[in-house]
Every structure is written in structure tokens, then in C-alpha cells.
Structure 1
Amino acid sequence: MKNICVFGLGYIGLPTAAMFAHHGANVVGVDVNQHAVDTINQGKIHIVEPGLEAIVKQAVDKGNLKASLTPEHSDAYLIAVPTPFKGDDHTPDLSYIQAVSEALAPLLEKGDVVILESTSPVGATEKMVAWLSEARPDLTFPKYHEPDNEADIFVAYCPERVLPGKVVEELISNDRIIGGMTKESTKKAQEVYRIFVEGELLATNSRTAEMAKLTENASRDVSIAFANELSVISDKLDINVWELIELANHHPRVNILQPGAGVGGHCIAVDPWFIVNQNPEEAKIIRAAREINDNKPNWVIGKINAEVDKVKEQGVEKPTVALLGLAFKPNIDDLRESPAVHIAREMLDIDSAKILLVEPNISELPKSLTAGDLVELGSALEHADIMIILVAHDEFKQLEFSNKNVISFVTNR
């Protein structure tokens, strides 16, 4: 398995490609983004991830990693492209996976391995196989209900489970679920990941692997929803939620998470809906947790507007509000599904205050926020009447706020 092709060079695909290359494989990374391709081929990266750029540069310099707009024949193909929603009903959009399937199908040869990493609803791997099989009737592909049968192509589903900000470390150390369409597909996929993974390679089938990834993130979503609901209840009862949780967690069998401004990112804010979409009658707790977490930003907006009204009552015609943090979690540049972005966009639309946006990990605002002003923290401290901490970036910890109305929706101490 010395030649590997990785489709999708984003927050998961690029680190994965770099790790294979760092451990001696010849890797072609494929992406539709010309800027990303050019940046990587210069030995640089287009995302923020600690420790990654040095690995990419070394791999590119050695000739083990190159980026391209078009795929090349390889021994193994890994797919790490987005799986967004089609619309407001949270129906999964598998069109990116289908497009990749159509692009790689002409390259397939007997004995090749195809691995889907994209977070997907149960059955997505089987749909991918159907697309590949339709494009290549000359090859045989594995069938989910025939785990012992042989096929020309080996196919598996192997979800990532890494934490942004620690991807380089966790790609190597974390255990990995290897869900083959057949038993032999599982073994072949294990061989691929053993190139650099030091954690355990847990064997299962493709459907169980798909559901395992969704289950992991739905479980976390439910736990976060409990904390977020507690924060709303505590506010109503005039209770300090941070103190409440700290005290409750002294119980030997209680470990309540910390509340925040909502839930974001490409996993927890998305994956549980895949379960709900396929199982609308059964997934009651999972749906409730998603609704609680999705509604938390609106509650935050209400609290901010209440603070704006208080300042207006003090004679300030249009207060200046600084929103600190736009990423979906601390110390990264990833704004996908970020509740802070939703809050900023709504505050800009309401236009009840002048909005200053502070996000130390980006250099320009996304299109949805171009009506706002991206400023340095020092400028926000100088000009804002109200400071709103939405993300616990290191830069915001232990700040000294003098004569400021400060609201923190995260633990920042």
C-alpha cells in the first residue's frame, strides 16, 4: 500500500494525506480548490492546525506528497469530502461522495482498496459501492450481506475521530474503527491505516462503523444539551451555572460538561441529524438534544439585546458590542456551523448596535459577515461598550475589563 490517493484536502483529508506521506507512502491529494492545491504544493497549508505545516513541508520536499485537481491510480483511495444537508429538513447530501466515486471509478484495478472517511448516514458506503459498480461493470464489488464473498475491489468505511487543534497527535494515537463491506475488505483497510496509526484498529462491518461515528457525536451532543439547558434554567433562577456545575461534579459519578453559546463544527452539529433523518420516530432524545443546542444561539442573542437595551437606557444611542470569537471551538480557525457566526450574523441583521468582531485565527470575514468589522482585540477593548465572550480562545483568558459590561457564555478562566 505505497501509493495512496486522498480525495478532499480539508481539515481531515490534508492531515491524513500528510501523515501517510510522512510515514513513507506516495500520496496524491485531490481537491477542487485551486488555491488549496497550490498552497500545499508550496509546502504550506491553507488551514490552521498546530504542527501540520511542518509535516506537510517535509513531505512535499521529499516528494512523498503532492496536491492535484485530478486523481491518479493508486493502491488505496481515501474519501474525505463533505456530507452537508440538502435543505432545512436535514436530508444528507451525498453528491460529493457520488462525484468522487465517478472520478475514481475509471482508475480502479483489481485489488485496489476504497475507503470512505466522510461522516455519512448508515448505508452510504453501500450507495458508494453501487455508484462504483455502475461505472465499472467489468469489476466485482463487495456486498454488505455477503461478508465472506470475494470481490475485485475492497471497500470499507473508516470514520475519523480527531479533535481540531490536536489532529496530528490524535490521528496517530486514537483507536480506529475499520468497517469493511466484507471481512477481507476490513483486513485490507487495516493494512492501510497500520502505515501510521498506533492505536487499536477495531474491526467491524460498514454499517456498524457508520453508526458508531454518528453515535459518538450524538452522545456528546446530548451531554452538551444537558449543560446548555442547565445554563438557561440557572439564568432564569438567578443561579451561577458555572458554580452549580462545579459543585454537582464533586459527586463521584457525575461529570456535567460546560455550557456554551451553542454547538458547532462539522460533526456534532450535523451528525445526529443523520440518525434523526433515518429514524424520525425512534430518535427522540437525539432530536431533542439537537433542538436544544440549535436554539441556544437564539437565547444568547436575546441576552445580548437585553444588555444593549440597558446601555441605551444609560444614554448611549447605539452601543458598540464586541463579539469575541467566531470559530466553533477554542484556538482554531474553523467557522463551520459555528454558533458564534450565527449570533454575529443575527446581531448584524438586527442592527440594534454597532458590532465589532474579534477572531484572532482568521484574517478576513466569511461572506455572511462582511457587513461587520473584523478588529484586533485591543481595538475592541478600546471602543466597545459591551464585551461578549462567545469562544474561549487563549487570547481572551484573564482579560482585564475595566468599565465594561461583560457577558461570557463560555468558561474563560
Structure 2
Amino acid sequence: MSAVNVIGLGYIGLPTALMMASHGVEVVGTDYNKELVATLNAGQTTFKEDGLDELFAKALKSGIKFTTEYQVTDTYIISVPTPYDNFSKKVDACYVVAAVKSVMEVCQKGASVVIESTVSPGTIDKYVRPEIEKNGFVIGKDIHLVHAPERIIPGNMVYELLHNNRTIGADDKKIGEKVKDLYSSFCQGEIVVTDIRTAEMTKVVENTFRAVNIAFANELAKICRHDNMDVYEIIRICNMHPRVNILQPGPGVGGHCISVDPWFLVGDYPSLAKVIDEAMRTNDSMPDFVLERIYEIMKEKNMRSIDRVGLYGLTYKENVDDMRESPTLQLLESQKRHLAPGLKVYDPFITYDVVENQYHDLDTFLKDIDLVVVMVKHNEIKENMAKLRGKYVLDCHNIICDLPDVYHL
């Protein structure tokens, strides 16, 4: 087999390329971002992730290469972003189509094009096939089309790449089995081969299930707050039932999976995806709900200035540096619309300035505020709870105990 050309070296493409290379596959990684490619060629990773640096070192030793150029080879793995249109909620496949177009300009007949990017059901039929056929290739003869949606999450990428089950969707089962063999070079989980549209749907449904489950917990939090009930105790008791597993409420949903993928179904099936639509709106409302709780606590404690309030955490989840769709950023944007700037912000994983009033040291941050809003449950805050003594705390994750003046959602 010739080298595998992995297109897109972001949160999904880079770990995938490194994992393949470290398991004996010849890999060339391609990205249009010259600065990113230069950083990788200088021997440095472009984001923080447990085990990523070690994996990077192994891949470099195995000969992985990074470039801005598309390669002439027989296998392409496309792992580029798939945002959604804010108005229609439909998937925006422009990055996938652009990557496929560039592949068509260099690939040889017989090549397999594997789409790893998460897309809505029918996206490959609607956007990818026409782009391939436009270039004069016959799909199934000149070009083989495959969908192998990623199934990993920041914070645990290396482990999940190795152990998670995978789905391979292909027109031709023989091609699907060939791509399965490629992923089997590192994947220890079960790999299922099916058709492309089923693979598209299963990935979106997985994330939609989680989003709806989270929305139920968030709605419970709002109901319990309205009548002064303890949502965490209620969930704890309910989950003692053998067939109940309610998730925990939180300040919002971020990242590029749960906060995005379910909208694809809403966009494509607006008259059918009613529960999903309402669940997504519930999750999207949580940053505003946190902001309301902040104002309630300020009023109760006679705090007159919001510049004595600090948000702990900028990332969308704990112990990563990924800020995509971050609830904290959503809350700050909402606060701007209320014309009440002044909230202070700190995150140990974000070492550069991204917002106003941002701090880079926990002690300095805490010294300048009276109310701490725990937006992200980084290990750092769990290990420094004693430093919160004497502060008012809005704990959005129910992680703080044995301290006075702790509020919840």
C-alpha cells in the first residue's frame, strides 16, 4: 500500500495520522494551514492532549511527514470540520467538498477516499459523489468512496482511538473490508462494515442521544430550581433504579460533536425532529440560565458590581485546551448583549488572551473576585478547593463539598 494521505490535521485528523504512523502505516499529513504544518515539522504538537506528545514522538520515529500539498497515493482520509448553518441548521459541507475537489486533482484511478468528518445522512450522496463525478471519475470503478466517522473525544483521544468500536460505510463491501484492515492496524475495538448512509446516520444518532439525555438533566435542573429542590439528590436516587441513568446538568454543551451534530437532523428533518430541536434549544439556553443565577446570587448577597465575579474555565470540557462552542464563551457573548461587561475569566489550559479581563494565575484571579462561577471542572479547581473558602461559589458541576456559601444551578 502507498502512503495514506490524511487531509486535515486538527483535533481528529492529527491523532488519527499519528496513530496510524506509529502502528506501521506510511502516512503523510496534509493541511492548508502553513503555520500548523510548520509547527508539526518543527517537532511540536499543536494542542494539548494526554499521551499525544508520546504518540507524536513514535510517529516521527516511524517517518510520518507533514505538508500543505496533497499527495499522489491510493488512500485518502479526509478529516476536516463540518459546521452547521446557524439559520437552516443544515450541515455545511464546504470543507469536505473542497478537500475532495483537491484530492480529485491529484489522485490516480483506483484510489479510495475515506470521509472521517461527521456529516448528516445523505451528505455524501448530495455533495461528495457529484464532486467526484464532475471530475470524470466513475465511483466504484475509478474511485472508491468510504465513510469512517471518527468516534473520539478530546481529553481521552489516544485511549479511545485504540479501544473504541468503529463503523465503516462503503458502497462495495470488499472496499469496506480493505479500509477496515487499515483501521485494524491500531483499533482494538470492533469494526462494523455497513453502507455509507447507515454509517452517516449512526454517528449523528450517537451524539444526538447524548445531547437529548443532557437536555433532560438540564431541564430537570431548571424545574428543581423553580421549586427549590435538590436536582442532584433527585438524580442520585432516580439512578438507583436499574433501568434509569440520568446524566448530570451543567452550564451548557460545547465541543464539535454533541453541540453540533444533532442540529444536522433538525436541519434535514425540521418537521420530524421535534424532540431533538427542543433538546438542543434547552442545552443552548444553559449559559443564559447560569447568567441569571449569577444575578440572583449577587442580589441575595448585595453585590453591586459584576466585576467582582469570576468565571473559572474557558474550555468546553475539563482538562483540555479545546474552546470550540464553549459555554463560557457563549455566556460572555450573552453578557455583552446585556451591556454588562466586567466578568473576570481564568482557565489554566488557556495560556494566551482570548477574552477581556482574562487571568493566567489562579491565586491572582481569586484575589480579585468575591463570587467564583465554576464553569469547567478542571482537576486544578478540584485540587484547590480550600482556596475557595471565604468566597461565594456557583458550582455548575456539583463538585464542591464541605464549603459554606456554595450555590448550584
Q: Partners in 2 of 1:359 and 1:37 — Cα distance?
A: 27
Within the candidate set 382, 387, 394, 1:407 is matched to: 394
Structure 2 vs 1, CA of residues 349 and 365 (structure 1 numbering), >3 Å: closer, same or farther?
farther
Within the candidate set 172, 182, 191, 1:182 is matched to: 172
| Matching of residues 295-374 of structure 1 within 5 Å | 295-311=285-301, 313=302, 316-317=304-305, 319-348=307-336, 350=338, 352=340, 354-366=342-354, 369=355, 371-374=356-359
Unaligned segments of structure 1, at least 5 residues: 143-150
Within the candidate set 225, 235, 250, 1:245 is matched to: 235
| Matching of residues 129-208 of structure 1 within 5 Å | 129-135=129-135, 137=136, 139-142=137-140, 151-208=141-198
Structure 2 vs 1, CA of residues 349 and 403 (structure 1 numbering), >3 Å: closer, same or farther?
farther
Q: What is the Cα deviation at residue 38 of structure 1?
A: 1.1
1:96 corresponds to 2:95: yes
1:78 corresponds to 2:77: yes
Residue-by-residue CA offset, 1:177-233 (whole Å, 9 max, x unaligned): 000022233122212212211211101100000000000000001100010001111
| Matching of residues 248-327 of structure 1 within 5 Å | 248-311=238-301, 313=302, 316-317=304-305, 319-327=307-315
1:376 corresponds to 2:365: no
Aligned 8 A contact 1:390 1:409 in 2: yes
Q: What is the Cα deviation at residue 295 of structure 1?
A: 1.0
Q: Partners in 2 of 1:210 and 1:319 — Cα distance?
A: 46
TM-score computed with the length of structure 2 as normaliser = 0.93
Q: Partners in 2 of 1:317 and 1:323 — Cα distance?
A: 14
Q: What is the Cα deviation at residue 358 of structure 1?
A: 1.1
One-letter amino acid matched to 1:280? P
| 3-state secondary structure, aligned to 1:113 | strand
One-letter amino acid matched to 2:390? N
Residue-by-residue CA offset, 1:280-329 (whole Å, 9 max, x unaligned): 11111111111111111111111112223344x35x45541110111111
Structure 2 vs 1, CA of residues 230 and 114 (structure 1 numbering), >3 Å: closer, same or farther?
same
TM-score computed with the length of structure 1 as normaliser = 0.92
Structure 2 vs 1, CA of residues 213 and 317 (structure 1 numbering), >3 Å: closer, same or farther?
closer
Q: Partners in 2 of 1:122 and 1:108 — Cα distance?
A: 26
> In the alignment, which residue of structure 2 is the partner of 1:59?
59
One-letter amino acid matched to 2:49? E
One-letter amino acid matched to 2:251? A
| 3-state secondary structure, aligned to 1:301 | helix
Within the candidate set 189, 199, 202, 1:212 is matched to: 202
Structure 2 vs 1, CA of residues 282 and 26 (structure 1 numbering), >3 Å: closer, same or farther?
same
Residue-by-residue CA offset, 1:317-357 (whole Å, 9 max, x unaligned): 55411101111111111111111211133335545463221
> In the alignment, which residue of structure 2 is the partner of 1:147?
none
Q: Partners in 2 of 1:244 and 1:28 — Cα distance?
A: 51
Residue-by-residue CA offset, 1:96-140 (whole Å, 9 max, x unaligned): 0111111110222222111001111112222212201212x1x32
Aligned 8 A contact 1:7 1:79 in 2: yes
Unaligned segments of structure 2, at least 5 residues: 401-409
Q: Partners in 2 of 1:375 and 1:355 — Cα distance?
A: 15
Aligned-residue CA RMSD in angstroms? 1.7
> In the alignment, which residue of structure 2 is the partner of 1:24?
24
> In the alignment, which residue of structure 1 is the partner of 2:36?
36
Residue-by-residue CA offset, 1:60-96 (whole Å, 9 max, x unaligned): 2442x11111111122100110111233331221110
Q: Partners in 1 of 2:262 and 2:172 — Cα distance?
A: 26
Aligned 8 A contact 1:113 1:188 in 2: no
Number of residue-to-residue matches in the alignment? 397
